[in-house]
Amino acid sequence: MSQHAETSTITVKPASPWKRLFAWVYDWLPAAGVFVLTFAIGLGVANLVFIDMPAAEVSDLVRDHPLWIAYLILGVTSYYLYCWIKGGQTVGMRTWRIKLVKANGDNLSLTDSLIRAFLSCGGLANFWSLIDDEYRGWHDIAVNAFVVQLPKTAPTKEQQKPLI
């Protein structure tokens, strides 16, 4: 007995540069939250490591240290990596119904996500989408990914449930 999985094909179009920009701006909110959390955890650990020093001195010690700055950047980048790998959408992308997918429709791998994050230059690579025919930034082109506009769908029963 064989089972045939029913596959459905959804036709999507590239997300406009404006929607990409709005999602990028919207994503500053959760990214700022991740930054504050990363900052608090890192400073707490630094104060435990240097327990004999006053907190103000520990803060001065780590403030301009290259490892501290790299740690904070890695913390915020982890938010984007997780979202791209897990579901192809950040919070801002969900709001604007856009999704990051590979050419075959799959989510990005960890390697692709790392390359994309590195080449994005903090989101500046999205400006390339203004002149590209498929609205892709150079970081999307490098990993053969597309940011697509998802069609409007009716909310599922799960989505209609109250959060609390």
Q: Would you state the pLDDT for residue 10?
A: 65
Q: Would you state the pLDDT for residue 39?
A: 95
Q: Would you state the pLDDT for residue 8?
A: 58
In a domain, 157, yes or no: no
When divided into structural domains, the chain yields a total of 1
Whether pLDDT at 159 is above 60 = yes
In a domain, 3, yes or no: no
In a domain, 163, yes or no: no
Can you name the residues that pair with 146 across neighbouring β-strands?
101
Digit-coded pLDDT (tens) for 58-90: 888 898 899 999 999 999 999 999 999 999 999
Digit-coded pLDDT (tens) for 87-134: 999 999 999 999 999 999 899 999 999 999 999 988 888 888 889 889
In a domain, 92, yes or no: yes
Distances 15 to 23, 57, 98 between C-alpha atoms, Å: 11, 48, 6
In a domain, 68, yes or no: yes
In a domain, 127, yes or no: yes
In a domain, 1, yes or no: no
Q: Would you state the pLDDT for residue 111?
A: 96
Residues 6 or more apart in contact with residue 145 via CB below 8 angstroms: 100, 101, 102, 103, 108, 112, 116, 136
Q: CA 69: distance to chain centroid?
A: 19
Q: Higher-confidence residue: 1 or 105?
A: 105
**What gap in Å lies between CA 83 and CA 57, rounded to an integer?**
36
In a domain, 125, yes or no: yes
Whether pLDDT at 57 is above 50 = yes
What is the domain range of residue 46? 13-150
